[in-house]
Amino acid sequence: MDRENLKKQIVGRYDVVVIGAGHAGCEAALASARLGCSTLLLTLNLDMIAYMACNPSLGGPGKGHLVREIDALGGEMAKVADQNLLQVRLLNTGKGPAVQALRAQIDKWGYQRSMRLSLEKEPLLTIREDMAEEIYTESEVVAGVVGRSGAVYECRTAILCSGVYLGSEIFLGDLHFTAAPGSLTPSFNLVKSMQKLGLKFDRFKTGTPPRVYRRSIDFSGLTEVPGEPEAPGFSITGSDSPRVQIPCWMTYTNSETHAVIRDNFAVAPIYSGLIKGRGPRYCPSIEDKIVRFAGRDRHPIFIEPESADSDELYLQGISTGLPPAVQEAFLRTIKGLEKVEIMRPAYAIEYDYAPPVQLKITLETKIIKGLFFAGQINGTTGYEEAAVQGLVAGINAAAQINKNEPLVLKRNEAYSGVMIDDLVTRGVQEPYRIFTSRGEYRLLLRQDNADLRLTEKGRQIGLIDDEHYAVYRKKKAYIENELKRLAETRHNPGSAVEQFLAARSSAALQQPTSALELLRRPEVNYRAYREWEGSVLPSLPRGTLEELENQIKYAGYIAKQEQLVEKTARLHEKLIPADFDYQKASNLSREARQKLEQIRPATLGQASRMEGVTPADITVLILYLERPEALGAGSERKDEGADDEQRS
C-alpha cells in the first residue's frame, strides 16, 4: 500500500501498537499503557485473549521464578494466576532453596476472563480485533501497522507478540493444514512484510496432548496428586491459596502403549519427514520419548483439570502428532484410560520464529528502530518466558517514547536477565525454555527473594503502585530488623536455650553464641525459635519467613556468590562501542570476528558468552578496547585447523 493510500486508511494514532494478545502481548500492552503511552492491542479474536493453548498450569523450576519476577516488576500474570488457582504445590522441597519453585494448576477460562478485564479497565489501552498484515517504516523507523481489515494504525513503536500464529501449520499424522491454536487463521503476510524490511525467519515445531472427558476416566486405580493449601501463591499481594484444591492424577504408559505408537511411526509427522522445524528437547512428544529413551518401559502422565467449570482434562506428558484414531488406540492401553473419550485431539504445529540474535538486549530489533519482538517469535517456549519478554518489551517501548533509560536486567539480578541475554547473545537452536541451571548465580536468584531483587526497579519504572510497595516495604523491614535483632541476641552456655537445643538434638553451647548463629544450625528453624522465645509472629506478607530463614541458613554461600559477582562485574559491564570495527581487529580469530560482527554484543560479558568466541579472543578484545589505535595493525590471526581445511 503506497503512502497516500495509507494516510486515507488511518483509523488511529498510538504511541505503541502491540500485535498479539497472548501472554507476551497482554503484559506488553499493560506495561506501556500504565507508563503513560497510548496503546493499541491487536488480537485475532477478542475471545482468545490470554489463551492457554497448551497446559493449564504455570510455574515449576525456573518458570515459577519468572512469574515471581513479573510480579516484582509490576506485571500482571502472578496476580491473575492467584485469582484463578485450582491447585498449587511447592516443588523440590527436599532440595536447596535455589531450585524450589511453585507450580500451580490454573482455571484457564477464569484466567482469560480476569486478564481481559485487567486490559479493558486500563484507560490508555484500546483492544481491537484485527490481523496485522504489514509493518511499515519511514527511514528505518516504525511508522505504523496495517490490518487485514484495511485499517491503518499509526504508531511510534510496535511490539510483535505473535506466538505460534505466524505461518503456522497443524499436523495430525499424514493430514496437515494451515491453522493456528484455537482453530484461528495464521498470518502469512506479516512475515513477508518483515522479510522485506531485512529481518530473517526460521521454523520451529511444538505440540499439545489430547484433552479428554472426565467421565471417561476410571480414577479408582490411579495415584492422586493433591494440592498443598499451605503453599503460597505467586504474587506478594495475593490472597491465600484455596483450601479446597482440585486434585491431579497420575498414570503411566506401558509396553503395549509403546508398541501401538511404534507400529504407527510411518504416520508420525516428526519421523515421516512432513515436519522440518526442530521441536523442544525438554518437552518431547511421546513418539520422541519412546525413541530417545528406548530403555524405559513407561512414562508418567499427569491428568490435570482445565477449569473448575468444565469436565475437560489435560493429559500432561503425552503430546503427539499421530492421527486421532491412533491417539485413541494407544490411550486405551493405559491404566484408567481404557474407555477414554477424546474431546480435543492432540496435534503438532510448525510455525515461524525470528532468530533472536537480531535483537538488542532491550528486545528492540537492531535494524528497525521502534520495533520490538517478545515471546515465542523469539524462539522461546512457555507462557512464563513469553510474559516476561512482553513485560520488558512494553517497559522499553514506553521508555523510548518517554525518553527514559531502558530496562536491562543483568544475569545476577534475574532469571529474566539470564533468558534475554541467552537469546540475544547465543541465539536458539531449539525452542528455549528457562531452567535454574541456566543461571550462574542460582542462590542469588531464588523465587522467595524475587521481590527483594526487583521491586525497587519496578517502583522506579512506575509499575509498582503504593499498595504493592507498602507490602514489599513491610517484608523488607521485618527481615532487616530481625537479622539485626538476632545478631544482637546472645545466649550463654548453661542458659535456658540449652533445653531448646537438646529437644532438637542440637549440640550444647561451648561459648556465648548469637541467636543468628544458632539459627544457622540445620536442626533449628526460625518459627520454633520464636515460639520458644514466647513471641507472637505479626501478620506478614507472603514468603517473609521463608526469605528470612534462607538468608540466615545460606549466608555463607550467598556471600561467596556476591563476591563472585563483584569480581566479574568489571569485565561483564565493560561496554563495547556500537560502531566497533571487528574487521580491523586482525588478531581476533576469523570465527570470532564473524560472530561478533553479526551479533554486536553490548558488553564484554555478552561477548564472552557467545559461541565461537574463546577466552583468548576476549583477552585480545580487551586489549583493543584499551588501545583503539591498535585496530588495523598486525597480521591476521590464523584460525586453528585452517591448514587442515586448505588441505581438504
Report how far residue 259's alpha carbon sits from residue 508's, in angstroms, rounded to the nearest whole number.
62
Question: Each residue of 8-64: pLDDT tens digit?
Answer: 788 899 999 999 999 999 999 999 999 999 999 999 999 999 999 999 999 999 999
Closest to 114 (Cα-Cα) out of 82, 140, 143: 82
DSSP H or E stretch at residue 248: strand 248-252
- 236 pLDDT above the threshold of 80: yes
Report how far residue 438's alpha carbon sits from residue 20's, in angstroms, rounded to the nearest whole number.
28
| Residue that has been written with the C-alpha cell 486508511 in this structure | 9
Domain with CATH 3.50.50.60 in the chain: 10-464
Q: CA–CA distance from 2 to each of 11, 140, 198, 368, 393 (Å)?
A: 16, 16, 19, 19, 29
Tell me what the pLDDT averaged over the chain comes to: 92
Report how far residue 179's alpha carbon sits from residue 7's, in angstroms, rounded to the nearest whole number.
32
Closest to 365 (Cα-Cα) out of 343, 395, 396: 396
- Over residues 261-284, the mean pLDDT reads 88
Q: What is the pLDDT of residue 648?
A: 30
Report how far residue 22's alpha carbon sits from residue 112's, in angstroms, rounded to the nearest whole number.
10
Q: What is the pLDDT of residue 633?
A: 63
Report how far residue 253's alpha carbon sits from residue 259's, in angstroms, rounded to the nearest whole number.
11
- Give the distance, in angstroms, between the CA of residue 61 and the centroid of all CA atoms in the same chain: 11
Q: What is the pLDDT of residue 606?
A: 87
**Comparison of pLDDT for 643 and 500, the residue scoring more:** 500
Q: What is the pLDDT of residue 92?
A: 92
Q: What is the pLDDT of residue 179?
A: 93
Q: What is the pLDDT of residue 640?
A: 42
CB half-sphere exposure, 184, CA atoms < 13 A: 26
Residue 79 grid coordinates:
496476580
Q: Which of 323-327, 463-467, 474-478, 586-590 has the lowest mean pLDDT?
A: 586-590
Q: CA–CA distance from 4 to each of 1, 10, 146, 297 (Å)?
A: 8, 11, 13, 66
DSSP H or E stretch at residue 269: helix 269-272
Q: Which of 37-46, 172-181, 278-287 has the lowest mean pLDDT?
A: 278-287
Q: What is residue 21's three-state secondary structure?
A: coil
**For the chain, how big is the Rg over CA atoms in Å?**
27
**Comparison of pLDDT for 562 and 212, the residue scoring more:** 212
Q: What is the pLDDT of residue 643?
A: 35
Q: What is the pTM of this model?
A: 0.91
- Over residues 560-570, the mean pLDDT reads 83
Contact 506, 528 (CB under 8 A): no
- Over residues 357-380, the mean pLDDT reads 97
Report how far residue 543's alpha carbon sits from residue 530's, in angstroms, rounded to the nearest whole number.
17
- 1 pLDDT above the threshold of 70: no
Report how far residue 332's alpha carbon sits from residue 10's, in angstroms, rounded to the nearest whole number.
55
- 592 pLDDT above the threshold of 80: yes
- Give the distance, in angstroms, between the CA of residue 635 and the centroid of all CA atoms in the same chain: 45
Residue 76 grid coordinates:
500482571
- 596 pLDDT above the threshold of 50: yes
Closest to 68 (Cα-Cα) out of 103, 112, 24, 29: 103
**Comparison of pLDDT for 150 and 571, the residue scoring more:** 150
Closest to 626 (Cα-Cα) out of 566, 567, 577, 593: 577
Question: Each residue of 602-642: pLDDT tens digit?
Answer: 888 888 888 888 878 888 888 888 888 877 765 444 444 33
* pLDDT range class, residue 183, cuts 50, 70, 90: confident
Q: Which residues in 183-306 belong to E strands, given as ranges?
A: 202-208, 211-213, 223-225, 248-252, 300-305
* pLDDT range class, residue 325, cuts 50, 70, 90: very high
Report how far residue 138's alpha carbon sits from residue 281's, in angstroms, rounded to the nearest whole number.
40
Q: Could you tell me the end-to-end alpha-carbon distance of the chain, in angstroms, rounded to an integer?
A: 51
DSSP H or E stretch at residue 224: strand 223-225
CB half-sphere exposure, 134, CA atoms < 13 A: 15
Q: Which of 378-387, 501-510, 593-602 has the lowest mean pLDDT?
A: 593-602
Selecting from 1.10.3720.10, 1.10.287.3610, 1.10.150.570, 3.40.605.10, what CATH number does the domain 574-647 have? Answer: 1.10.150.570
Q: What is the pLDDT of residue 610?
A: 87
* pLDDT range class, residue 558, cuts 50, 70, 90: very high
Provide the pairing of β-strand 152-160 with 10-19: parallel
Q: Which of 78-82, 144-148, 573-577 has the lowest mean pLDDT?
A: 573-577
Contact 351, 165 (CB under 8 A): yes
Report how far residue 176's alpha carbon sits from residue 53's, in angstroms, rounded to the nearest whole number.
19
Q: What is the pLDDT of residue 623?
A: 86
Q: What is the pLDDT of residue 595?
A: 87
Q: Does domain 10-464 have CATH number 3.30.870.10?
A: no
DSSP H or E stretch at residue 631: none
Domain with CATH 1.10.150.570 in the chain: 574-647
**Comparison of pLDDT for 566 and 140, the residue scoring more:** 140
Report how far residue 8's alpha carbon sits from residue 26's, in angstroms, rounded to the nearest whole number.
29
* pLDDT range class, residue 2, cuts 50, 70, 90: low
- 264 pLDDT above the threshold of 50: yes
- 465-559 has which fold? Arc Repressor Mutant, subunit A (1.10.10)
Other residues' Cβ atoms within 10 Å of the Cβ of residue 226:
11
Kindly state the percentage of the chain with pLDDT values over 70.
97
* pLDDT range class, residue 244, cuts 50, 70, 90: confident
Q: Which of 279-288, 305-314, 450-459, 540-549 has the lowest mean pLDDT?
A: 279-288
Burial 554-575 (b: 16+ CB within 10 A, else e): beeebeebeeebeeeeeebeee
Residue 189 grid coordinates:
503476510
Q: What is the pLDDT of residue 638?
A: 44
Question: Each residue of 378-435: pLDDT tens digit?
Answer: 999 999 999 999 999 999 999 999 999 999 999 999 999 999 999 999 999 999 999 9
Report how far residue 267's alpha carbon sits from residue 175's, in angstroms, rounded to the nearest whole number.
9
Report how far residue 244's alpha carbon sits from residue 330's, in angstroms, rounded to the nearest whole number.
33
Closest to 97 (Cα-Cα) out of 413, 439, 434, 444: 444
Cβ contacts of 98 within 8 Å, gap of 6 or more: 436, 442, 443, 445, 446
Report how far residue 34's alpha carbon sits from residue 42's, in angstroms, rounded to the nearest whole number.
17
Q: What is the pLDDT of residue 634?
A: 54
- 571 pLDDT above the threshold of 80: no
Q: What is residue 529's three-state secondary structure?
A: helix
Q: What is the pLDDT of residue 279?
A: 84
DSSP H or E stretch at residue 143: strand 141-147
